[in-house]
Structure 1
Amino acid sequence: MATTLWTLLCARGRINQRLGGVFGFCGWLPFAHEMDELIQQSDAISSGSDKTQIQRLICDFCIETIEIPRVSETADSQGESLPLSATPVLLGHGTDDDWVSVELGRQALRVIKGLTGNVEWKEYAGAEGDGHWIKEPEGFDAIFEFLEGGSQAA
């Protein structure tokens, strides 16, 4: 989940279209606390009305944090280089996960929800691997439905 979400957040200017979807399970989002603070500050300043501005702020934070080179801002001026805007996201976590606390997954959810409304969350109990796995069959059914596009608004 961490790698998937950071890849999406660092895609600004690199992926200039909507992705089919992104999903992550039983994970966390590095620097979620700092991102959440940036979102809260931005919401307070702009009344939460401009998700594109908040997405740019968080994407810049991620790009600067891992020090990857910036790319052309040409597409960004039209908002085209923020694939997070239109990409559906499915996140899930085991409530009994012994390896990564479900609270860390919920924190990742709050950050992603602060950036886009196009996110779905699933919680499960009783998965194999000390709860640190996708619950069968419900979790796999949710992934299949997500990939088919049946659970996401068009």
Structure 2
Amino acid sequence: MCGKGMSDVATGGEEQEEGASTEFEDMFEREDGDPKEEESNSEKAIGYLSEELQAERDKIVRTGPFSFESIPVFMGHGTEDEKVPIEIGRLAADFLDIIGVNIEWKEYEGLGHWYSSDMLRDVVRFLKGLDGWKDSTDESRTV
């Protein structure tokens, strides 16, 4: 529920549990009745998670974008993974995309809970595509 709940919060979607009241309640409404100022999807998800973990959200000091929003992420997953179902990876990648993370998702047909030469090749390609990545085989060039 936590991952799905955070996705719903970040996208503004509503999750209606069976038997729950159909009356709409704005989870972002302040006690004084004023809605919170516009938050990014990342801020909404972090706020939801903070409440779920009963953490103090006001201790998060923002001076700019969240650092995780500026870090490209590569995620690869085998379609035959017997330990972690591929759907979990898909949900994680979708959620990271929703909250603004630059995510590259790749599925590897027939691969179980391991890595393959194709996955390693994709990881190297991904890393070489990052700004500032230096190829150790050619010290004179920056990719």
The answer to whether the superposition gives a TM-score over 0.5 is yes
Which of 136, 141, 148 in structure 1 is aligned with 2:121?
141
The match for 2:16 is none
**Following the alignment from structure 2 to structure 1, what is the Cα–Cα distance between the partners of residues 50 and 113?**
29
Q: Deviations over 1:25-74 (max 9, x none)?
A: xxxxx8221111112217xxxxxxxx96111111222334334555352x
Shift of 1:113: 0.8
Runs of 4+ in 1 over 4 A off after TM superposition: 67-70
Matches within 5 A, 1:1-154: 31-41=2-12, 53-68=40-55, 70=57, 71=59, 73=61, 76=62, 78-80=63-65, 82-116=66-100, 118-127=102-111, 131-134=112-115, 136-148=116-128, 150=129, 152=130
Report the CA distance shift for 1:112/1:56 in structure 2 as closer, same or farther (over 3 A): same
| 2:78–2:108 Cα contact (<8 Å) kept | yes
How many percent identity over aligned positions?
Answer: 27
Which structure dedicates a bigger proportion of its chain to helix? 1
Count of matched residue positions in the alignment of Structure 1 and Structure 2: 109
Normalised TM-score (structure 2): 0.62
Q: Compared with structure 1, are the counterparts of its residues 141 and 39 closer, same or farther at alpha carbon in structure 2 (3 Å cutoff)?
A: same
Q: If the length of structure 1 is used for normalisation, what is the TM-score?
A: 0.58
CA distance in 1, matches of 2:102, 2:75: 11
C-alpha separation between the residues in 1 aligned to 2:6 and 2:131?
Answer: 26
Between 1 and 2, higher relative CO (CA 8 Å, sep ≥ 6) is seen in 1
Q: Which has the larger radius of gyration?
A: 2
